[in-house]
A = this chain, B = another copy of it.
Amino acid sequence: MKTDGAPSTSPPPPGLVANWETLQRIFIRPENEAARAVLLKYMEQILFGLHDFLKQHLGITQEASLKDLADRFTDSRIGEHPVRKLADVINGLIEEVAPHAVNVASPYFVGHMTSAIPFYMVHLATIVAALNQNPVKLETSKVVSVLERQVLAKIHRVVYGFDGGFYHRHIQKPESTLGGFVEDGTLANMTALWVARNTLLGAKPGFDGVEKEGMAAALAAHGILRCVVLVSRLGHYSLRKSAGVLGIGNRNVIPVPVDAGQRLDINALEETLRTLKRDEPGTRILAVVGVAGTTETGTVDPLEAMAGICEREKIHFHVDAAWGGPTLLSGTYRHLLKGIERADSATIDGHKQFYMPMSCGMVYFKNPTHMDAAAYHARYINRPGSVDLGIRSLVGSRAAASLVLGSALDIMGSRGYALLIDHGIELARSFAGEIMKRPLFQLVTPPCLNILTYRLLPEGTEADTETANRINKTVQRLQREAGRSFVSRTTLSLPETGETVVLRVVLMNPFTTIGILREILDEQETLYRREIAGRP
Protein backbone atom coordinates (compact mmCIF):
# COMPACT_ATOMS: atom_id res chain seq x y z
CA MET A 1 0.00 0.00 0.00
CA LYS A 2 0.94 3.64 -0.20
CA THR A 3 3.73 4.47 2.16
CA ASP A 4 4.03 8.17 1.61
CA GLY A 5 0.81 10.00 0.90
CA ALA A 6 0.72 13.09 -1.24
CA PRO A 7 0.20 16.25 0.75
CA SER A 8 -3.33 17.42 0.29
CA THR A 9 -2.40 20.39 -1.93
CA SER A 10 -0.79 18.35 -4.70
CA PRO A 11 -2.58 17.87 -8.02
CA PRO A 12 -4.42 14.60 -8.50
CA PRO A 13 -2.48 11.75 -10.09
CA PRO A 14 -3.34 11.39 -13.78
CA GLY A 15 -6.69 9.70 -14.28
CA LEU A 16 -7.57 9.79 -10.60
CA VAL A 17 -10.04 12.58 -10.13
CA ALA A 18 -12.93 12.46 -7.74
CA ASN A 19 -15.76 14.37 -9.32
CA TRP A 20 -19.48 13.92 -9.29
CA GLU A 21 -19.65 12.04 -12.60
CA THR A 22 -16.99 9.47 -11.77
CA LEU A 23 -18.43 9.14 -8.31
CA GLN A 24 -21.88 8.37 -9.60
CA ARG A 25 -20.44 5.79 -11.96
CA ILE A 26 -18.95 3.77 -9.14
CA PHE A 27 -22.35 3.42 -7.56
CA ILE A 28 -23.89 1.77 -10.61
CA ARG A 29 -23.24 -1.68 -11.83
CA PRO A 30 -22.54 -0.87 -15.46
CA GLU A 31 -24.95 -1.70 -18.27
CA ASN A 32 -22.56 -2.09 -21.17
CA GLU A 33 -20.77 -5.33 -21.87
CA ALA A 34 -17.26 -3.92 -21.88
CA ALA A 35 -17.55 -2.34 -18.46
CA ARG A 36 -19.15 -5.49 -17.07
CA ALA A 37 -16.32 -7.56 -18.45
CA VAL A 38 -13.84 -5.38 -16.58
CA LEU A 39 -15.65 -5.81 -13.28
CA LEU A 40 -15.84 -9.52 -13.83
CA LYS A 41 -12.15 -9.64 -14.64
CA TYR A 42 -11.49 -8.15 -11.22
CA MET A 43 -13.54 -10.88 -9.62
CA GLU A 44 -11.57 -13.46 -11.58
CA GLN A 45 -8.37 -12.00 -10.18
CA ILE A 46 -9.80 -12.20 -6.68
CA LEU A 47 -11.08 -15.74 -7.08
CA PHE A 48 -8.10 -17.25 -8.86
CA GLY A 49 -5.27 -14.73 -8.94
CA LEU A 50 -5.03 -14.86 -5.19
CA HIS A 51 -5.07 -18.64 -5.25
CA ASP A 52 -2.49 -18.95 -7.99
CA PHE A 53 -0.23 -16.47 -6.30
CA LEU A 54 -0.35 -18.33 -3.02
CA LYS A 55 0.33 -21.59 -4.79
CA GLN A 56 3.57 -20.16 -6.17
CA HIS A 57 4.52 -18.90 -2.74
CA LEU A 58 4.11 -22.06 -0.78
CA GLY A 59 3.94 -21.91 2.94
CA ILE A 60 2.12 -20.04 5.60
CA THR A 61 3.53 -16.57 5.05
CA GLN A 62 6.46 -14.92 3.33
CA GLU A 63 9.53 -14.16 5.29
CA ALA A 64 9.46 -10.58 6.46
CA SER A 65 9.98 -9.31 9.94
CA LEU A 66 7.11 -7.60 11.63
CA LYS A 67 9.34 -4.57 11.95
CA ASP A 68 9.88 -4.46 8.18
CA LEU A 69 6.18 -4.81 7.53
CA ALA A 70 5.28 -2.18 10.10
CA ASP A 71 7.70 0.24 8.45
CA ARG A 72 5.69 0.00 5.24
CA PHE A 73 2.48 1.19 6.88
CA THR A 74 3.36 4.36 8.68
CA ASP A 75 1.62 7.05 6.67
CA SER A 76 -1.41 8.32 8.54
CA ARG A 77 -2.64 10.80 5.95
CA ILE A 78 -5.65 10.31 3.72
CA GLY A 79 -4.94 11.76 0.32
CA GLU A 80 -7.35 14.39 -0.95
CA HIS A 81 -7.34 12.77 -4.38
CA PRO A 82 -7.77 9.12 -5.11
CA VAL A 83 -4.48 7.27 -4.80
CA ARG A 84 -5.28 4.25 -6.89
CA LYS A 85 -7.95 2.68 -9.01
CA LEU A 86 -9.78 -0.48 -8.10
CA ALA A 87 -7.59 -2.53 -10.43
CA ASP A 88 -4.46 -1.35 -8.67
CA VAL A 89 -6.01 -1.83 -5.25
CA ILE A 90 -6.82 -5.43 -6.12
CA ASN A 91 -3.36 -6.01 -7.54
CA GLY A 92 -1.87 -4.45 -4.46
CA LEU A 93 -3.87 -6.68 -2.17
CA ILE A 94 -2.89 -9.77 -4.14
CA GLU A 95 0.77 -8.96 -4.67
CA GLU A 96 1.72 -6.88 -1.66
CA VAL A 97 -0.68 -7.84 1.10
CA ALA A 98 -1.62 -11.48 0.53
CA PRO A 99 1.98 -12.79 0.59
CA HIS A 100 2.42 -11.25 4.04
CA ALA A 101 -0.96 -12.27 5.32
CA VAL A 102 -1.27 -15.75 6.79
CA ASN A 103 -2.22 -18.56 4.45
CA VAL A 104 -4.75 -20.03 6.86
CA ALA A 105 -5.96 -22.33 4.07
CA SER A 106 -2.67 -24.23 3.98
CA PRO A 107 -2.95 -27.83 5.21
CA TYR A 108 0.28 -27.11 7.09
CA PHE A 109 -1.45 -24.37 9.09
CA VAL A 110 -2.70 -26.46 12.01
CA GLY A 111 -2.15 -24.06 14.88
CA HIS A 112 -5.42 -22.19 15.19
CA MET A 113 -9.15 -22.53 14.67
CA THR A 114 -9.01 -20.98 11.22
CA SER A 115 -8.64 -23.07 8.11
CA ALA A 116 -9.49 -23.49 4.47
CA ILE A 117 -13.11 -22.74 3.67
CA PRO A 118 -15.16 -24.11 0.76
CA PHE A 119 -14.82 -21.81 -2.22
CA TYR A 120 -18.56 -21.25 -2.39
CA MET A 121 -18.37 -19.47 0.94
CA VAL A 122 -16.69 -16.63 -0.91
CA HIS A 123 -19.60 -16.46 -3.35
CA LEU A 124 -22.07 -16.40 -0.48
CA ALA A 125 -20.15 -13.65 1.30
CA THR A 126 -20.28 -11.68 -1.94
CA ILE A 127 -24.06 -12.00 -2.08
CA VAL A 128 -24.36 -10.79 1.50
CA ALA A 129 -22.32 -7.68 0.64
CA ALA A 130 -24.22 -7.06 -2.60
CA LEU A 131 -27.64 -7.31 -0.96
CA ASN A 132 -26.34 -5.34 2.04
CA GLN A 133 -29.32 -6.07 4.26
CA ASN A 134 -29.31 -5.07 7.92
CA PRO A 135 -31.23 -7.61 10.03
CA VAL A 136 -31.46 -5.23 13.00
CA LYS A 137 -34.90 -4.32 11.67
CA LEU A 138 -37.45 -5.59 9.22
CA GLU A 139 -37.44 -2.34 7.26
CA THR A 140 -33.88 -3.00 6.12
CA SER A 141 -34.06 -6.76 5.71
CA LYS A 142 -37.63 -8.07 5.39
CA VAL A 143 -37.38 -11.66 4.10
CA VAL A 144 -33.83 -11.92 5.40
CA SER A 145 -35.12 -11.57 8.96
CA VAL A 146 -37.59 -14.35 8.28
CA LEU A 147 -34.91 -16.51 6.74
CA GLU A 148 -32.60 -15.83 9.68
CA ARG A 149 -35.25 -17.11 12.05
CA GLN A 150 -35.36 -20.32 10.06
CA VAL A 151 -31.61 -20.81 10.22
CA LEU A 152 -31.66 -20.17 13.97
CA ALA A 153 -34.39 -22.77 14.38
CA LYS A 154 -32.40 -25.32 12.37
CA ILE A 155 -29.34 -25.00 14.58
CA HIS A 156 -31.48 -24.79 17.72
CA ARG A 157 -33.01 -28.10 16.71
CA VAL A 158 -29.56 -29.63 16.30
CA VAL A 159 -28.66 -28.51 19.83
CA TYR A 160 -31.92 -29.05 21.69
CA GLY A 161 -33.85 -31.45 19.49
CA PHE A 162 -37.35 -30.44 20.54
CA ASP A 163 -40.20 -31.89 18.52
CA GLY A 164 -41.59 -30.48 15.31
CA GLY A 165 -44.51 -28.87 17.11
CA PHE A 166 -42.18 -26.79 19.24
CA TYR A 167 -40.41 -25.42 16.19
CA HIS A 168 -43.61 -24.92 14.30
CA ARG A 169 -44.82 -22.70 17.14
CA HIS A 170 -41.69 -20.67 17.63
CA ILE A 171 -39.84 -20.54 14.34
CA GLN A 172 -41.61 -17.43 13.04
CA LYS A 173 -43.29 -16.17 16.18
CA PRO A 174 -42.08 -12.60 16.77
CA GLU A 175 -42.22 -13.00 20.54
CA SER A 176 -39.95 -16.05 20.52
CA THR A 177 -36.16 -15.89 20.43
CA LEU A 178 -34.46 -19.18 19.73
CA GLY A 179 -31.09 -17.50 19.37
CA GLY A 180 -29.19 -14.73 17.71
CA PHE A 181 -26.26 -13.88 15.49
CA VAL A 182 -23.48 -11.75 16.93
CA GLU A 183 -19.97 -10.98 15.78
CA ASP A 184 -18.18 -13.85 17.49
CA GLY A 185 -18.05 -16.34 20.32
CA THR A 186 -16.99 -13.70 22.81
CA LEU A 187 -20.19 -11.75 22.23
CA ALA A 188 -22.22 -14.96 22.22
CA ASN A 189 -20.86 -15.92 25.64
CA MET A 190 -21.40 -12.35 26.81
CA THR A 191 -25.00 -12.46 25.63
CA ALA A 192 -25.64 -15.69 27.52
CA LEU A 193 -24.18 -14.35 30.76
CA TRP A 194 -26.03 -11.05 30.23
CA VAL A 195 -29.34 -12.89 30.05
CA ALA A 196 -28.41 -15.12 33.00
CA ARG A 197 -27.46 -12.05 35.04
CA ASN A 198 -30.69 -10.25 34.24
CA THR A 199 -32.72 -13.34 35.08
CA LEU A 200 -31.01 -13.98 38.39
CA LEU A 201 -31.11 -10.31 39.41
CA GLY A 202 -34.53 -9.54 37.98
CA ALA A 203 -37.20 -7.15 39.14
CA LYS A 204 -38.96 -7.70 42.46
CA PRO A 205 -41.15 -5.49 44.60
CA GLY A 206 -39.27 -2.22 45.07
CA PHE A 207 -36.60 -3.10 42.52
CA ASP A 208 -36.73 -2.74 38.74
CA GLY A 209 -34.07 -5.28 37.85
CA VAL A 210 -30.33 -5.15 37.28
CA GLU A 211 -30.57 -3.97 33.68
CA LYS A 212 -32.31 -0.78 34.79
CA GLU A 213 -30.76 -0.19 38.18
CA GLY A 214 -27.26 -1.56 37.83
CA MET A 215 -25.23 -4.20 39.61
CA ALA A 216 -24.71 -2.45 42.92
CA ALA A 217 -28.43 -1.80 43.40
CA ALA A 218 -29.20 -5.33 42.26
CA LEU A 219 -26.95 -7.01 44.77
CA ALA A 220 -28.37 -4.82 47.52
CA ALA A 221 -31.97 -5.50 46.50
CA HIS A 222 -31.38 -9.24 46.33
CA GLY A 223 -29.40 -9.24 49.56
CA ILE A 224 -26.25 -10.72 48.13
CA LEU A 225 -22.61 -9.70 48.12
CA ARG A 226 -21.37 -11.06 44.83
CA CYS A 227 -22.27 -13.27 41.90
CA VAL A 228 -19.90 -15.84 40.55
CA VAL A 229 -19.53 -17.88 37.38
CA LEU A 230 -17.98 -21.33 37.59
CA VAL A 231 -16.07 -22.75 34.66
CA SER A 232 -13.24 -25.18 34.09
CA ARG A 233 -9.78 -23.75 34.34
CA LEU A 234 -9.61 -24.20 30.56
CA GLY A 235 -12.61 -21.93 29.87
CA HIS A 236 -12.15 -19.29 27.20
CA TYR A 237 -10.87 -15.88 28.29
CA SER A 238 -14.02 -14.31 26.85
CA LEU A 239 -15.84 -15.54 29.95
CA ARG A 240 -13.59 -13.47 32.18
CA LYS A 241 -13.99 -10.55 29.79
CA SER A 242 -17.76 -10.95 29.82
CA ALA A 243 -17.85 -10.93 33.61
CA GLY A 244 -15.69 -7.83 33.60
CA VAL A 245 -17.89 -6.05 31.07
CA LEU A 246 -21.12 -7.08 32.77
CA GLY A 247 -20.08 -5.56 36.09
CA ILE A 248 -19.82 -8.98 37.72
CA GLY A 249 -16.06 -8.66 38.06
CA ASN A 250 -13.73 -11.01 36.24
CA ARG A 251 -12.24 -12.32 39.48
CA ASN A 252 -15.68 -13.74 40.15
CA VAL A 253 -15.19 -16.21 37.33
CA ILE A 254 -14.00 -19.06 39.48
CA PRO A 255 -11.79 -21.60 37.74
CA VAL A 256 -12.70 -25.16 38.63
CA PRO A 257 -9.88 -27.73 38.48
CA VAL A 258 -9.80 -30.24 35.65
CA ASP A 259 -9.28 -33.97 35.81
CA ALA A 260 -6.49 -35.89 34.11
CA GLY A 261 -8.44 -35.70 30.85
CA GLN A 262 -8.53 -31.88 31.01
CA ARG A 263 -12.29 -32.00 31.66
CA LEU A 264 -13.89 -30.06 34.45
CA ASP A 265 -13.57 -32.18 37.60
CA ILE A 266 -17.13 -32.80 38.63
CA ASN A 267 -16.16 -33.52 42.23
CA ALA A 268 -14.27 -30.26 42.38
CA LEU A 269 -17.37 -28.48 41.07
CA GLU A 270 -19.51 -30.06 43.78
CA GLU A 271 -16.90 -29.19 46.37
CA THR A 272 -16.77 -25.57 45.17
CA LEU A 273 -20.54 -25.31 45.39
CA ARG A 274 -20.53 -26.81 48.89
CA THR A 275 -17.79 -24.49 50.07
CA LEU A 276 -19.49 -21.40 48.67
CA LYS A 277 -22.79 -22.37 50.28
CA ARG A 278 -21.18 -23.06 53.61
CA ASP A 279 -18.69 -20.20 53.82
CA GLU A 280 -20.24 -17.48 51.72
CA PRO A 281 -23.97 -17.11 52.25
CA GLY A 282 -23.78 -13.79 50.37
CA THR A 283 -22.49 -15.40 47.18
CA ARG A 284 -24.85 -16.48 44.40
CA ILE A 285 -23.94 -18.65 41.42
CA LEU A 286 -24.88 -16.72 38.29
CA ALA A 287 -23.98 -19.51 35.91
CA VAL A 288 -22.03 -22.69 35.49
CA VAL A 289 -20.32 -22.91 32.12
CA GLY A 290 -19.45 -26.16 30.44
CA VAL A 291 -17.00 -26.12 27.58
CA ALA A 292 -17.58 -28.29 24.53
CA GLY A 293 -14.17 -28.11 22.94
CA THR A 294 -11.77 -26.06 25.03
CA THR A 295 -9.62 -23.71 23.01
CA GLU A 296 -6.38 -25.14 24.28
CA THR A 297 -7.02 -28.87 24.42
CA GLY A 298 -10.31 -29.43 22.58
CA THR A 299 -11.73 -31.37 25.51
CA VAL A 300 -15.41 -31.54 26.35
CA ASP A 301 -16.55 -31.08 29.93
CA PRO A 302 -18.88 -33.69 31.54
CA LEU A 303 -21.97 -31.87 30.33
CA GLU A 304 -24.48 -34.45 31.54
CA ALA A 305 -23.25 -34.37 35.10
CA MET A 306 -22.98 -30.59 35.04
CA ALA A 307 -26.53 -30.28 33.73
CA GLY A 308 -27.73 -32.49 36.56
CA ILE A 309 -26.04 -30.32 39.16
CA CYS A 310 -27.40 -27.12 37.61
CA GLU A 311 -30.93 -28.50 37.49
CA ARG A 312 -30.70 -29.60 41.10
CA GLU A 313 -29.30 -26.25 42.22
CA LYS A 314 -31.40 -24.15 39.82
CA ILE A 315 -28.36 -22.54 38.26
CA HIS A 316 -28.15 -21.21 34.69
CA PHE A 317 -26.16 -23.76 32.68
CA HIS A 318 -24.34 -22.33 29.69
CA VAL A 319 -22.35 -24.43 27.24
CA ASP A 320 -19.58 -22.76 25.30
CA ALA A 321 -19.64 -24.93 22.17
CA ALA A 322 -18.04 -22.23 20.00
CA TRP A 323 -15.65 -24.89 18.76
CA GLY A 324 -17.38 -28.19 19.31
CA GLY A 325 -20.98 -27.34 18.40
CA PRO A 326 -20.98 -28.68 14.85
CA THR A 327 -19.87 -32.08 16.18
CA LEU A 328 -23.60 -32.50 16.82
CA LEU A 329 -24.04 -33.03 13.07
CA SER A 330 -21.91 -36.17 13.20
CA GLY A 331 -23.85 -39.33 13.91
CA THR A 332 -20.63 -40.96 15.04
CA TYR A 333 -19.40 -38.33 17.49
CA ARG A 334 -22.53 -36.46 18.48
CA HIS A 335 -22.57 -38.42 21.74
CA LEU A 336 -19.43 -36.61 22.89
CA LEU A 337 -21.60 -33.55 23.57
CA LYS A 338 -24.35 -35.41 25.38
CA GLY A 339 -25.94 -33.10 27.91
CA ILE A 340 -25.77 -29.94 25.81
CA GLU A 341 -29.50 -30.33 25.19
CA ARG A 342 -30.03 -29.57 28.87
CA ALA A 343 -28.14 -26.26 28.71
CA ASP A 344 -30.07 -23.04 29.21
CA SER A 345 -27.89 -21.40 26.58
CA ALA A 346 -25.18 -22.39 24.14
CA THR A 347 -22.57 -20.63 22.02
CA ILE A 348 -21.60 -21.87 18.55
CA ASP A 349 -19.31 -20.13 16.08
CA GLY A 350 -20.05 -20.22 12.37
CA HIS A 351 -16.52 -19.21 11.38
CA LYS A 352 -15.06 -22.20 13.13
CA GLN A 353 -16.43 -25.67 12.33
CA PHE A 354 -19.21 -24.44 10.07
CA TYR A 355 -16.34 -23.36 7.83
CA MET A 356 -17.79 -19.89 7.26
CA PRO A 357 -15.58 -16.91 6.57
CA MET A 358 -15.01 -14.46 9.45
CA SER A 359 -17.08 -13.67 11.40
CA CYS A 360 -20.17 -15.33 12.78
CA GLY A 361 -20.98 -15.97 16.42
CA MET A 362 -24.28 -17.48 17.55
CA VAL A 363 -26.01 -17.89 20.87
CA TYR A 364 -28.99 -20.19 21.50
CA PHE A 365 -31.50 -20.35 24.32
CA LYS A 366 -33.48 -23.41 25.30
CA ASN A 367 -36.37 -21.25 26.49
CA PRO A 368 -37.66 -18.99 23.67
CA THR A 369 -38.64 -16.24 26.12
CA HIS A 370 -35.42 -16.28 28.12
CA MET A 371 -33.93 -13.44 26.11
CA ASP A 372 -36.81 -11.17 27.03
CA ALA A 373 -34.66 -10.37 30.04
CA ALA A 374 -32.50 -8.27 27.71
CA ALA A 375 -34.92 -6.54 25.35
CA TYR A 376 -34.51 -2.98 24.08
CA HIS A 377 -36.80 -0.72 22.15
CA ALA A 378 -36.45 2.60 20.36
CA ARG A 379 -38.89 5.02 18.84
CA TYR A 380 -37.87 4.60 15.21
CA ILE A 381 -37.20 0.85 15.18
CA ASN A 382 -37.55 -2.17 17.44
CA ARG A 383 -40.92 -0.97 18.61
CA PRO A 384 -42.66 -3.26 21.09
CA GLY A 385 -44.52 -6.00 19.24
CA SER A 386 -42.54 -5.58 16.02
CA VAL A 387 -40.66 -8.49 14.52
CA ASP A 388 -37.38 -6.52 14.41
CA LEU A 389 -34.57 -8.88 15.38
CA GLY A 390 -32.68 -6.00 16.99
CA ILE A 391 -35.01 -6.02 19.98
CA ARG A 392 -33.19 -8.88 21.64
CA SER A 393 -29.56 -8.58 20.65
CA LEU A 394 -26.34 -7.37 22.18
CA VAL A 395 -25.43 -5.72 18.87
CA GLY A 396 -27.39 -3.48 16.52
CA SER A 397 -26.47 -3.27 12.83
CA ARG A 398 -24.88 -6.38 11.41
CA ALA A 399 -24.33 -8.33 8.23
CA ALA A 400 -26.75 -11.09 7.27
CA ALA A 401 -24.44 -14.00 8.13
CA SER A 402 -27.52 -16.21 8.30
CA LEU A 403 -27.69 -16.14 4.48
CA VAL A 404 -24.28 -17.79 4.36
CA LEU A 405 -24.99 -20.41 6.99
CA GLY A 406 -28.45 -21.22 5.66
CA SER A 407 -27.09 -21.69 2.15
CA ALA A 408 -24.15 -23.74 3.39
CA LEU A 409 -26.49 -26.11 5.21
CA ASP A 410 -28.38 -26.62 1.95
CA ILE A 411 -25.22 -27.21 -0.04
CA MET A 412 -23.51 -29.51 2.46
CA GLY A 413 -26.33 -31.32 4.19
CA SER A 414 -25.59 -32.54 7.68
CA ARG A 415 -23.61 -35.38 6.16
CA GLY A 416 -21.18 -32.99 4.48
CA TYR A 417 -20.37 -31.40 7.79
CA ALA A 418 -20.27 -34.81 9.48
CA LEU A 419 -17.58 -35.98 7.07
CA LEU A 420 -15.43 -32.99 7.93
CA ILE A 421 -15.94 -33.41 11.66
CA ASP A 422 -15.20 -37.13 11.51
CA HIS A 423 -12.06 -36.55 9.48
CA GLY A 424 -10.70 -34.10 12.06
CA ILE A 425 -11.38 -36.33 15.03
CA GLU A 426 -9.99 -39.44 13.37
CA LEU A 427 -6.93 -37.65 12.08
CA ALA A 428 -6.26 -36.34 15.58
CA ARG A 429 -6.32 -39.90 16.89
CA SER A 430 -3.87 -41.08 14.23
CA PHE A 431 -1.63 -38.15 14.97
CA ALA A 432 -1.68 -38.95 18.68
CA GLY A 433 -0.49 -42.45 17.79
CA GLU A 434 2.30 -41.04 15.65
CA ILE A 435 3.48 -38.76 18.46
CA MET A 436 3.53 -41.61 20.91
CA LYS A 437 5.71 -43.64 18.56
CA ARG A 438 8.43 -40.99 18.48
CA PRO A 439 10.86 -40.96 21.41
CA LEU A 440 11.55 -37.22 21.14
CA PHE A 441 7.91 -36.32 21.73
CA GLN A 442 5.40 -36.64 24.50
CA LEU A 443 1.66 -36.57 23.94
CA VAL A 444 0.40 -34.23 26.64
CA THR A 445 -3.36 -34.11 26.09
CA PRO A 446 -4.83 -36.83 23.86
CA PRO A 447 -7.58 -35.67 21.52
CA CYS A 448 -11.19 -35.67 22.64
CA LEU A 449 -12.36 -33.86 19.51
CA ASN A 450 -9.81 -32.72 16.91
CA ILE A 451 -7.32 -30.79 19.04
CA LEU A 452 -4.36 -32.20 20.87
CA THR A 453 -1.24 -30.94 22.60
CA TYR A 454 2.20 -32.47 22.81
CA ARG A 455 5.74 -31.41 23.42
CA LEU A 456 9.32 -32.20 22.65
CA LEU A 457 10.79 -33.97 25.63
CA PRO A 458 14.39 -34.87 24.87
CA GLU A 459 16.08 -37.49 26.99
CA GLY A 460 17.27 -35.98 30.22
CA THR A 461 14.71 -33.17 30.35
CA GLU A 462 11.89 -35.26 31.79
CA ALA A 463 12.40 -33.84 35.25
CA ASP A 464 13.37 -30.38 34.06
CA THR A 465 10.23 -28.59 32.95
CA GLU A 466 12.01 -25.28 32.64
CA THR A 467 14.42 -26.61 30.04
CA ALA A 468 11.68 -28.47 28.23
CA ASN A 469 9.59 -25.31 28.15
CA ARG A 470 12.46 -23.34 26.65
CA ILE A 471 13.03 -25.99 24.01
CA ASN A 472 9.37 -26.07 22.98
CA LYS A 473 9.09 -22.29 22.84
CA THR A 474 12.16 -22.13 20.65
CA VAL A 475 11.15 -24.89 18.28
CA GLN A 476 7.67 -23.43 17.86
CA ARG A 477 9.10 -20.01 17.08
CA LEU A 478 11.71 -21.34 14.66
CA GLN A 479 9.11 -23.36 12.81
CA ARG A 480 6.74 -20.39 12.60
CA GLU A 481 9.52 -18.16 11.33
CA ALA A 482 10.60 -20.71 8.74
CA GLY A 483 7.10 -20.23 7.35
CA ARG A 484 6.42 -23.71 5.99
CA SER A 485 4.08 -24.87 8.69
CA PHE A 486 2.50 -23.60 11.86
CA VAL A 487 1.53 -25.14 15.16
CA SER A 488 0.65 -22.89 18.06
CA ARG A 489 1.76 -23.09 21.65
CA THR A 490 0.15 -22.58 24.99
CA THR A 491 0.99 -23.21 28.63
CA LEU A 492 -0.94 -25.81 30.61
CA SER A 493 -0.89 -26.19 34.38
CA LEU A 494 -0.30 -29.89 34.88
CA PRO A 495 -0.22 -31.78 38.18
CA GLU A 496 3.15 -33.45 37.55
CA THR A 497 5.10 -30.83 35.63
CA GLY A 498 3.47 -27.56 36.68
CA GLU A 499 3.40 -24.76 34.12
CA THR A 500 4.13 -26.70 30.99
CA VAL A 501 4.68 -25.26 27.53
CA VAL A 502 2.97 -27.44 24.93
CA LEU A 503 2.55 -27.43 21.18
CA ARG A 504 -1.06 -27.26 20.07
CA VAL A 505 -2.56 -28.70 16.92
CA VAL A 506 -6.06 -28.03 15.58
CA LEU A 507 -7.16 -30.38 12.80
CA MET A 508 -10.01 -29.11 10.64
CA ASN A 509 -8.52 -28.69 7.18
CA PRO A 510 -9.65 -31.62 4.99
CA PHE A 511 -6.32 -31.52 3.16
CA THR A 512 -4.27 -32.05 6.26
CA THR A 513 -3.15 -35.68 6.22
CA ILE A 514 -1.15 -37.85 8.55
CA GLY A 515 1.70 -37.50 6.05
CA ILE A 516 1.68 -33.73 6.46
CA LEU A 517 1.59 -34.08 10.21
CA ARG A 518 4.60 -36.41 10.05
CA GLU A 519 6.44 -33.78 8.03
CA ILE A 520 5.65 -31.23 10.71
CA LEU A 521 7.08 -33.50 13.40
CA ASP A 522 10.12 -34.19 11.21
CA GLU A 523 10.73 -30.47 10.85
CA GLN A 524 10.47 -29.99 14.59
CA GLU A 525 12.94 -32.81 15.16
CA THR A 526 15.33 -31.29 12.67
CA LEU A 527 14.99 -27.83 14.17
CA TYR A 528 15.62 -29.24 17.61
CA ARG A 529 18.66 -31.23 16.62
CA ARG A 530 20.18 -28.50 14.47
CA GLU A 531 19.41 -25.39 16.50
CA ILE A 532 19.23 -26.64 20.06
CA ALA A 533 20.92 -29.98 20.55
CA GLY A 534 23.63 -28.76 18.21
CA ARG A 535 24.08 -31.99 16.32
CA PRO A 536 22.91 -32.79 12.81
A20 to B81, CA, bound (A): 51
The answer to whether the Cβ of A327 comes within 8 Å of any Cβ in the partner chain is no
* Cα–Cα distance between A376 and B250 once the two chains are bound (Å): 10
26 sampled A-B residue pairs with Cβ under 8 A: A1-B150, A2-B410, A18-B412, A18-B416, A36-B47, A46-B127, A69-B146, A75-B150, A81-B415, A89-B411, A90-B123, A97-B131, A97-B143, A100-B142, A101-B133, A102-B140, A122-B129, A126-B126, A129-B358, A134-B358, A185-B397, A210-B247, A211-B250, A214-B215, A237-B377, A359-B398
In the complex where A90-B123, A117-B132 touch, is A150 in contact with B412 (Cβ < 8 A)? no
> Is A251 a contact partner of B27 (Cβ separation < 8 A)?
no
- Interchain CA distance A75-B504 in the complex, whole Å: 40
Interface size class of A (residues with CB under 8 A): 35 or more
Q: Which B residues are CB-close (under 8 A) to A71?
A: 172
Q: Report whether A79 and B20 are in contact in the complex, using a CB–CB cutoff of 8 Å.
A: no
Further pairs besides A104-B134, A183-B398: 5, Cβ < 8 Å: A27-B511, A75-B150, A81-B415, A183-B395, A357-B399
Q: Are A142's CB and B74's CB within 8 A?
A: no
- Determine whether A43 belongs to the interface, using a CB cutoff of 8 Å to chain B: yes
Q: Which of A92-123 contact B (CB under 8 A)?
A: 93, 97-98, 100-102, 104-105, 111-112, 114, 116-123
Q: Are A146 and B66 in contact (CB under 8 A)?
A: yes
A467 within 8 A of B: no
Which of A430-438, A488-496, A521-529 lines the interface with chain B? A488-496
Write the chain B residue with the least CB distance to A94.
B127
Q: How many copies does the complex hold?
A: 2
Q: Is the CB of A123 within 8 A of B211?
A: no
Q: Is the CB of A184 within 8 A of B248?
A: no
Nearest residue (CB) in B for A150 is B73
| A46, A69, A359, A394: most-surrounded residue (chain B CB, <10 A) | A359
- Given the contacts A86-B123, A358-B397, A398-B359, A217 and B226 also touching, CB distance less than 8 Å: yes
Nearest CB on B from A226, distance (A): 7
Q: Is A320 an interface residue (CB 8 A)?
A: no
